[in-house]
A and B are shown apart, each in its own frame.
Chain A
Amino acid sequence: MLDLIAPFFERLNDTTGLNFSPFYDSYDWGRLLEGMWVSIKLITAIIAVSLVIGVVGAGAQTSRVRPVRWLVAAYIEVFRNTPPIVQLLFFYFGLGAITPQVDMGGWYEPMIGSFGWAVIAIGIFGGSYNVEIFRSGIEAVPDSTKEAAESLGFSQFKIFVYITLPLAVRICLPALTNNIVSLAKTSSLAYVIAVPEITYSLSGIWSDSVNVPEMMVLLFLYYIVLVAIIARIMSVIEHRLALPGYGQ
């Protein structure tokens, strides 16, 4: 792949001074691919964590135990109303300093690395939005549906898992798409704790080769394509899940 495009970009650099070093330098090429790979892994993990938190939190909000509801409400308010970057630093430096170290046979490594903390911190941040999104979906499920399930002998838990949740997910899918896209963008924050995702690896390239404008173009392009792909996937899911009689 690189052999194929390298001559063109090398000539571009020589003739116009546009230095797209990742497209002819094999070391920078490796950094670019690594950055994209880590970024995609990071985004997938963050979305997974935030969805789990969203479902569990929304379920907990329907709980009959008051303190549980308060706890979820406090979680939402704290994480939605404080800066995500400070949350990330708090998790990585604050909590990272007191997590146990693992003996790697000669040296010690923290149990959770920067990638892990980025997933946890941004996942929890995104989860606080997802709880609200799922809650709005759950509230939109008609009471009569739930009552019908109740009359068929479903337990509260089974009603949530088999009746409420599947309908709620369909209702809140558009809002969920928005949040997933915004989470994918927020994943670039992991730069501050040196997770080698795309922003971090490209910043390494532009510090080495002094080609900020070119790398910026790449970075913008990467995120725009990424957002388009996510939006496409979500709209396919929306079509697949569409129920007759719900939505358009």
Chain B
Amino acid sequence: MIPNWKVSRVTWRAPVLAAGLCLAAALAATAQDGGAARPSALASLVIWMPFILKGFGLNLLMSVLAMGFATVMGVILGFMQISPVALIRVPARLVTHLFRNSPWLVILFAIMLLVPFQMTLPGVGRVMIPDWVKATFGFALPVMANISEILRGAVLSIPSGQWESAESLAFTRGQTLRHVILPQCIRRMLPPWMNWYALLTLMTPMAAILGVDEALGNTQAAMEAAGARPEFLIPFYLFLMTIFFVFIYPLSVYTRRLEKRFAVAS
């Protein structure tokens, strides 16, 4: 017999796992300690911790901004996808498919390299666009496409009888969407929406490839500045993984709980 075992049932695992990651980082740091004259890898890590955490702040900022943008655009795109007018529906579907089926890195490259680093706005004059803003935009696009698809899926999952009964009550299409369909969709969309937020946050370190000073970029800079010794690599990267884990794990546990609750309710 297979034990009915669920990951989400035990939540004390989060701190234990995070502590385990930290411990592994510390152990790796001390085990690879070179000589007494230089500060140990662990000591260097402690010195540079605030710098790395400051970078992580930018990751959070990028993830929140990108998620906000992606949600607004994704919902609009999703509505366009279910529009009865083919002229609106077809382009929306094309855009959705383009950004859903391309890798994050490729979209990020496209935005970083094709969007100019400065723009002339009417009335404001020349405006520099910082790299991290462009990266935020690049991260938002794939999430936008997926949210659009989630919305479409959620609307399609509502039984067509509800459309018909709303119609028989003389609701217009817009009224049906607003008062009947959407309130039910939001509940169905919330868990996948949170999953996409977690995934988006996990992808933000990619911005380091293009020179944004977020957590990964700062970690690499810190290792360089502390002497670029090979024994830094394991503890520093493990520490970086720990930060993300501490932030994301509670979120994913909560998402799974919501999923289960909604699955029971519906």
Contacts and interface: CB of A to CB of B under 8 A. Distances in A.
Say whether A and B bind each other: yes
B6 to A, nearest CB: 9
Q: 5 tightest A-B contacts by CB?
A: A185-B103, A90-B237, A188-B103, A94-B234, A82-B241
Contacts of A188: 103-106
Nearest to B142: A185
A177 interface: no
A223 B101 contact: yes
B105 A189 contact: yes
14 contacts: A74-B20, A77-B249, A81-B249, A86-B237, A90-B234, A94-B234, A94-B237, A185-B101, A187-B103, A189-B105, A192-B209, A206-B113, A212-B113, A223-B106
Interface string A89-132: 11001110110000000000000000000000000000000001
B3 A62 contact: yes
Interface string B228-254: 001001100110110011001100100
A199 interface: yes
A76 B106 CA distance: 27
Interface in A128-172: 132, 138-139, 143, 146
Nearest to B252: A81
A219 to B, nearest CB: 5
A65 to B, nearest CB: 11
Interface stretch (B160-168, B186-194, B199-207): B199-207
A61 B110 CA distance: 41
B54 interface: no
Interface of B: 1-5, 7, 13-14, 17, 20-21, 97-98, 101-106, 109-110, 113-114, 198, 202-206, 208-209, 216, 230, 233-234, 237-238, 240-241, 244-245, 248-249, 252
Contact of B202 (A73, A84, A146): A84
B241 A90 contact: yes
B interface, over-half SS: helix
A95 B216 contact: no
Given A61-B5, A62-B2, A213-B114, A83 B109 contact: no
Size band of the A side of the interface?
35 or more
Given A77-B13, A97-B233, A138 B102 contact: no
Contacts, number: 130
B248 A81 contact: yes
Contacts of B3: 62, 64, 69
A138 B233 contact: no
A184 B10 CA distance: 32
B109 A77 contact: no
A73 B234 contact: no
A179 interface: no
B249 A76 contact: no
Contacts of A139: 2, 4
Contacts of B205: 83, 85-86
Contacts of B17: 74, 77-78
Contacts of B106: 188, 199, 216, 219-220, 223
Interface in A171-208: 181, 185-189, 191-192, 199, 203, 206
A199 to B, nearest CB: 6
A199 B105 CA distance: 9
B252 A82 contact: no
Contacts of A83: 202-205, 216, 240-241, 244
Given A189-B103, A219-B102, 5 more contacts: A76-B7, A77-B249, A85-B205, A94-B238, A224-B97
